[in-house]
Amino acid sequence: MELVAQVLGGDRRALARLISRVENRQNAAHAVLSALYPHTGRAHVVGVTGPPGTGKSTLVNEMAKALRARKRTVGVVAVDPTSPFSGGALLGDRVRMRDLAGDPGVFIRSMATRGSLGGLAKTTSDVVKVLDAAGFEIVLVETVGVGQAEVDVARTAHTTIVIEAPGLGDEVQAMKAGLMEIADILVVNKADRPGAANTARALEITLELGRSHRKEERLWEPPILKTVALTGMGVDKVLDAVADHYGYLQQSDQWTRRERERARSDLLRMLEQELVCQLVERAGEKRIEAWVERIAAREADVYTAVRELIAAK
């Protein structure tokens, strides 16, 4: 628990160590997260998501720099696809983020996405809590925004930014439609490219379509902003929109509602994990494997196995 005290005291090296512990789900991780939890709840968690090729990492980098210029402290959690050959993130965020290195007001963590289904969401949520407890005012969570797990990660943020870009293929366009429902702020990045106006217009039409299908009026209408992340163009307007959305969340009941949603999904996920752990321990690996064999051999089906394993406790 010395590590916890150090992290709460602002020790950045202790923070890095503690996050590794959480990421690797070491034994003491639960105790550490319990101890940190009362210190959470202050950070504004901002999800940044969008299809591949939209320049998310660059935009996140620029947002972090601009937030530092505004004297806000920033944590960044980048959820990257993992290469089995390189054993880590390939996207080079850490290289690109080099201009922020040495600044104690910013902390960047690239996360692997390996592991079991659902592991990603759980670990990311835990790392965000650690950064929140460590006192970072804004935590940016960057995800690829295509897969279901990745979208779920974005959804647990207070504010979700969905990034688009002109000139992506049909398949990518289709994905974007699925993302729009979770967007609080829409950004058309690479706005200096041909087709940017069309992309923005298409987003507007989609938003209008959504509006006409809705019965109640929404109190927050997602703005559509244009950026060129490579030059920093428009990034300040994105931060203004993030601040506006924060104000909206606080004034409405939305902040509380989103906190509750996050608590609910954390609770259910932990329950799942713990209940299965306990059952596997009670039943023993051997008995589980015997059922697996029988299921694979079509001598039993999975529903029978579940029923009998639960009944046997």
Instruction: Please report, as residue ranges, which positions from 106 to 165 form the binding site for a second copy (by CB under 8 A).
Output: 113, 117-121, 144, 146-152
Ramachandran bin of 171, using left for φ above 0, alpha for ψ from -120 to 50, beta for the remaining angles: alpha
Residues 269-281 as b or e (16 or more Cβ within 10 Å = b): eeeeeeeeeeeee
CB of 63 to a second copy, least distance (A): 17
Instruction: Count other C-beta atoms under 10 Å from residue 212's C-beta.
Output: 7
Q: Least Å distance between CB 102 and a second copy?
A: 26
Report the nearest approach of a second copy to the CB of residue 120 (Å): 5
User: Is 259 among the residues that bind a second copy (CB under 8 A)?
Assistant: yes
Residues 57 and 91: beta-carbon distance below 8 Å? yes
Q: What is the smallest separation between the CB atom of 186 and a second copy, expressed in angstroms?
A: 14
Check residue 43 for interaction with a second copy (CB under 8 A): no
Which candidate, 242, 245, 225, 190, places its Cα nearest to that of 63? 242
Neighbours of 20 (CB within 10 A): 12
Residue 217 per-residue DSSP state: P
CB atoms within 10 A of CB 79: 26
Hey, which residues between 183 and 202 contact a second copy (CB under 8 A)? none
Among 9, 10, 53, 284, binds a second copy (CB under 8 A): 53
Q: Closer to a second copy by CB, 148 or 240: give it.
A: 148
Q: Which of 116, 105, 181 is nearest to 145 (CA)?
A: 181
Segment interacting with a second copy (CB under 8 A) among 17-25, 75-83, 102-110, 235-243 = 75-83
Report the site for a second copy in 198-237 (rule: CB under 8 A).
206, 209-210, 213
Q: Which stretch binds a second copy (CB under 8 A): 11-19, 95-103, 246-254, 257-265?
A: 257-265
Tell me which of 3, 8, 172, 290 binds a second copy, using CB under 8 A.
172
The residue range among 68-76, 102-110, 172-180, 230-238 that interacts with a second copy, by the rule CB under 8 A, is 172-180
Q: How many CA atoms lie within 13 A of 269 on its CB side?
A: 20
Q: Is 33 in the site for a second copy (CB under 8 A)?
A: yes
